[in-house]
Amino acid sequence: MRAKTAVVVGAQWGDEGKGKIVDVLSERFSAVARYSGGHNAGHTVIIGGQRFVLQLIPCGLPRPGCICVIGNGVVFDPIYFLDELARVRAMGASVDGRLFISNRAQVILPYHRMIELAAETAPGRQKIGTTSKGIGPAYEDKMARSGLRMVDLLNPTLLKTHIEAACAEKNAVAHALFGTDPLDPRKMYEDYAAAAEKVRPFVADTARLLNGILARGGSVMFEGAQGTMLDIDHGTYPYVTSSSATAGGAVTGTGVGPTAIGTVIAVTKAYVTRVGEGPFPTEIHDASGEVLRTRGNEFGAVTGRPRRCGWLDIPLLRYSNRVNGTEWLVVTKLDVLDPLEEIPVCIGYEAGGKITDEIPADVQGLEAIKPRYTRLKGWRQPTEGITEFEKLPQAAREYLAFQERESGARIGMISTGPDRDQTIVLPEFARALDGMRSEMAQVSAV
């Protein structure tokens, strides 16, 4: 019997609309667990016109009764978390007894932001295009075994000692490399000791909590951040994030074993976008790109930066499905393509005079390839808000069928607008999800 779990992962470079999808699906799950990234990832949920932008808090929070977990694979900024917590409470979301933070999650401190910002803006340094929120340096400290975990944040003596030692080192390094002014360890300690007391009620052994939910017959959805092509191992390195954004990160990032993963749901736009630096084979450099950007409101939920837009890339999607073990695809922003008479789709690449459908592992190879396109007929009819597959224009259904056939994964859901209700759920996918429903009374957090 398959476990009642699903991993929701971005199939491209992030920004695929995972927030909405997690929200829509959360009614079928006892808990939603975020497993990677930090507050550099913005997930937008729109319910009846009310807009939630969540960066650390899982997107199951607007769903009453759903338990929400910030896993050990997340890097956690307690000061930012308290601000986000206040915002969601002000919007009427219930939090107490539903939201938990792993005691093993790594803590982001001000010197992480200082170092990342200085490195991104230093002359002669390779610019990655980060959000400068300290994510990368926090993961660096984690792997160097010199980081601070949530369980340590709650120990005032250990916290004070750690901040004093870290500031002595980080201030010296940042000043020597970048000429950065030093941070005050005393003020940092005071700020974070105070934040620790406010965060303390939410901290728990979340691996035990999640495994307990599954043992009692409950169901868990794992919420990814960013996207497959930003994964530290499988993405367009070095233009990637610092964590495991693929489905495998759900295991290491929550403490739930690999045999407990039931299915993988990959979210893909009907086209492609990316934010920041790095190769992008199907990027559009003419007016069509601006059409997609404007219609799709392609601006970062966290930074407001305009996203680069490109045509759907089938080899990239096929690669993503392979490394994630994707069973189901969710296609978002189909309605953005409504006015197009013709829609190019990349079906392969040309590299050095040879034809290939494999993505090169190196940046130079990615920058050198030229996409090969087929052109599909547009539908030039509005699809926004359609909730039944049969009511989509024939050409839109053919576009989706092509995407499904060529990518190797089944399409289970289609988003036709930003609101929770602007969604098509296909019958086979609905039946698979119904098998994951569980009685909330059986799966309390205790």
d(CA 34, CA 370) in angstroms, rounded, equals: 36
State CA 133 to chain mean position distance.
16
Strands (E), 297-436: 308-310, 328-332, 342-351, 354-356, 370-377, 410-415, 423-425
For residue 101, report the phi and psi dihedrals to the nearest 5 degrees.
-120, 135
Q: What's the full length of the chain, in residues?
A: 446
Pairing of strands 43-47, 50-54: antiparallel
Q: Give the other-Cβ count within 10 Å of 121's Cβ.
A: 11
Q: Which residues are catalytic?
A: 15, 43
Q: Give the burial string for 1-35 (b: 16+ CB within 10 Å, else e).
A: eebbbbbbbbbbbbbbbbbbbbbbbbebbbbbbbb
Q: How far, in Å, CA of 61 to CA of 95, rounded?
A: 8
Residue 313 — φ and ψ, nearest 5°? -115, 100
Cβ proximity of 43 and 18 under 8 Å: yes
